[in-house]
Amino acid sequence: MAENLQQVKKRIKSSQSIAQITKAMEMIAASKIKKAQASVENNKAYAERISFIVQKILAESTDLLYNLPFLNIDKNIKRKLFYVISTDKGLCGGLLANIYKQIFVSVSKDDYIVTIGKKAQTFCIKNGYNVKASFLMGSSFPKYDVIYPMLKIMKDLLDKKEISAVNVIYTNFKNRIVQQAITKSLVPIEKDKNFVNKGDHIFEPSANEVLKSLLPYYVGNIFYDMLMNAYASEQAARMSAMSNANENAKEIATSLTIIYNKSRQEKITNEILDLANGQIH
Amino acid sequence: MANLYKLDILSPQGNIFSGNVKQATIPTTSGLITILAGHTSLITMVSKGDIEIMLEDNSVKSFTVIDGFLEVSDNVVSIISDFAMKSDDINDEVIEKAKKYAAEQKQKNDNVPSEIAEKNLQKAIMALKVLEHNKLKRKKRVKY
């Protein structure tokens, strides 16, 4: 009995310290998510305006654009490039499992993969995917600069005509409770059919020139938006996972405390009974 | 009243400016242009420099941009740029930060693509220029 009591005490302590750690992690994620959410929202207007302008130009100049990057790609090439944006660390609930599911569904073993985040890297290598390069996600908010080396791989492969499309698997941040792992196409840029050709814009120096520098800019911005979404989702998922873990740990601690008190009381009662009955064990 | 139009300056950091203006002077790749109300639809590239905006009450505001795009249609003008800032917001601290960041990047590894290093350096230089410009302006104001 005495040993059992000690063990229970130990377990109470460990579950309490787990509760403490998870609480701390939850608070860290909560503070990070604030900044991430603000950045996602700040970028929204800008991103929307860029895609609005791009779609406008695409609608207005239909036949000019056949030799531009990101628009017309040889459809005979079967191979695609996938960017997988995951996390460096676990402890974020079902977020990673959902991303892995997306990889299984949409990537074939022939396709190239560029992983962002340690978890995706180990997963893809383990499962025999064709990993072209890997980057780290980092624990702080991603800066705009980080996308250049990532997108350079895409540019090189497009120039070499090795791939026909570029997709991104990431977790879309809807709000703090709902995040969704999705596969989104980045290249080729699709035309939105809602835009009608009004044909009233003047381009300076020319539509081709403008698009040439606008398109990489546009792709970069979409990609950065995805990166920010993934980061915000990671923090949100970690926050809710940790708050669940914290609650569970607390629950275990209370039920263990009850068991501890009960068995302690039982022990005392037994001792008193023994004394009253005059029996000695 | 009729001679106003809506101007938005957007950057990844958020809405830098949004409101009705009388005129705006913008540096583009094909030279400085001034846009008044009723301008024809136009799409062009913004180079680096100062954007000067005249508000309804004839007061002037200035912003700094490095590379971006300008779109005019139906009396709405949007300027999108990945680096846009109120010129008054640029001070020694910002410049120090930009310089430090650029130097850090350079030191970290030589593999950093030249575009990034260049862009950061440009930011630092641009910020410096604007600061000097602002200082000059202030001096002038005091003199006269």
**What is the three-class DSSP state of B79?**
strand
Same topology for domains A2-22+245-277 and A37-240, yes or no? no
Residues B60 and B36 occupy one common structural domain: yes
Query: Which of A72-86, A113-127, A181-195: highest mean pLDDT?
Result: A113-127
Sorted by where each begins, the domain ranges of chain A are 2-22+245-277, 37-240
pLDDT at A45 over 90: no
> Tokens for A221?
């911005």
Residues B9 and B77 occupy one common structural domain: yes
**How many domains in chain B?**
2
Positive or negative, the CA dihedral A220, A31, A235, B117 is positive
Q: Could you list the mean pLDDT of each consecutive 10-residue stretch along chain B, which spans 144 residues? A: 82 86 90 89 86 88 86 89 75 70 64 61 67 62 48
Q: Mark which residues 181-220 of A lie under 8 Å from B by CB.
A: 200-205, 207, 209-210, 213-214, 217
Q: Which of A169, A168, A176, A148 is nearest to A232 (CA)?
A: A176
pLDDT at A183 over 90: yes
Compute the distance between CA of residue B74 and CA of residue B64 in angstroms, rounded to an integer: 25
With contacts defined as CB-CB under 8 Å, which chain A residues touch B11?
46
- CATH number of the domain at B26, please: 2.60.15.10
Whether B63 and B50 have beta carbons less than 8 Å apart is answered as yes
Compute the distance between CA of residue B63 and CA of residue B53 in angstroms, rounded to an integer: 8
**What does the pLDDT read at residue A67?**
62
Compute the distance between CA of residue A242 and CA of residue A28 in angstroms, rounded to an integer: 10
Predicted confidence (pLDDT) per residue in A80-90, tens digit: 999 999 999 88
Cβ pair A50:B105 closer than 8 A: no
SS3 content of chain B, % helix, strand, coil (to 5): 35, 40, 25
What is the mean predicted confidence (pLDDT) over A149-161?
86
> Which one of B54, B72, B87 terminates a domain?
B87
Query: How many CB atoms are closer than 10 A to CB A20?
Result: 12
A141 lies within 8 A of chain B by CB: no
Pick from B14, B42, B116: which is nearest to A202 by CB? Answer: B42
With contacts defined as CB-CB under 8 Å, which chain B residues touch A152?
113
Q: What is the domain range of residue B12?
A: 5-87
**What does the pLDDT read at residue A100?**
94
With contacts defined as CB-CB under 8 Å, which chain B residues touch A221?
12, 82
pLDDT at A205 over 50: yes
With contacts defined as CB-CB under 8 Å, which chain B residues touch A46?
10-12, 14, 80
Residues B64 and B114 occupy one common structural domain: no
Pick from A49, A148, A224: which is nearest to B115 by CB? Answer: A148
What's the full length of chain B, in residues?
Answer: 144
With contacts defined as CB-CB under 8 Å, which chain B residues touch A61?
none
Smallest CA–CA distance, residue A148 to chain B, in Å, is 7
Q: What is the CA radius of gyration of chain A?
A: 28
With contacts defined as CB-CB under 8 Å, which chain B residues touch A43?
12, 14
Pick from A46, A210, A213: which is nearest to B12 by CB? Answer: A46
| One-letter amino acid of B68 | G
Pick from A42, A144, A203: which is nearest to B82 by CB? Answer: A144
CATH code for residues A2-22+245-277 = 1.10.287
Query: Position of tokens 């941040």?
Result: A173
Between A3 and B90, name the one with better pLDDT.
Answer: B90
CB contacts < 8 A, A to B, total 81
pLDDT at A264 over 50: yes
Query: Among the CATH numbers 3.30.429.10, 3.40.1380.10, 3.30.300.30, 3.30.70.1230, which is that of A37-240?
Result: 3.40.1380.10
> Tokens for A277?
């009955």
Residues B113 and B83 occupy one common structural domain: no
**What is the three-class DSSP state of B7?**
strand
Smallest CA–CA distance, residue A202 to chain B, in Å, is 5
Determine phi and psi for A64, rounding to 5 degrees: -75, -20
pLDDT band at A53 (very low <50, low <70, confident <90, very high): confident
Residues B95 and B80 occupy one common structural domain: no
Cβ pair B113:A149 closer than 8 A: yes
**What does the pLDDT read at residue B144?**
44
A72 lies within 8 A of chain B by CB: no
Cβ pair B113:A203 closer than 8 A: no
Smallest CA–CA distance, residue A38 to chain B, in Å, is 9
Predicted confidence (pLDDT) per residue in A234-263, tens digit: 999 999 999 999 999 999 999 999 999 999
| One-letter amino acid of A105 | V
Compute the distance between CA of residue A273 and CA of residue A260 in angstroms, rounded to an integer: 20
**What does the pLDDT read at residue B11?**
86
Residues B66 and B96 occupy one common structural domain: no
Residues B62 and B74 occupy one common structural domain: yes
Measured in Å, how far apart are chain A's first and last C-alpha atoms? 14
Query: Which of A28-37, A138-147, A245-254: highest mean pLDDT?
Result: A245-254
Cβ pair A53:B43 closer than 8 A: yes
Smallest CA–CA distance, residue B142 to chain A, in Å, is 38
Measured in Å, how far apart are chain B's first and last C-alpha atoms? 32
A contact test, residue of B6, B9, B80 with most A CBs within 10 A: B80
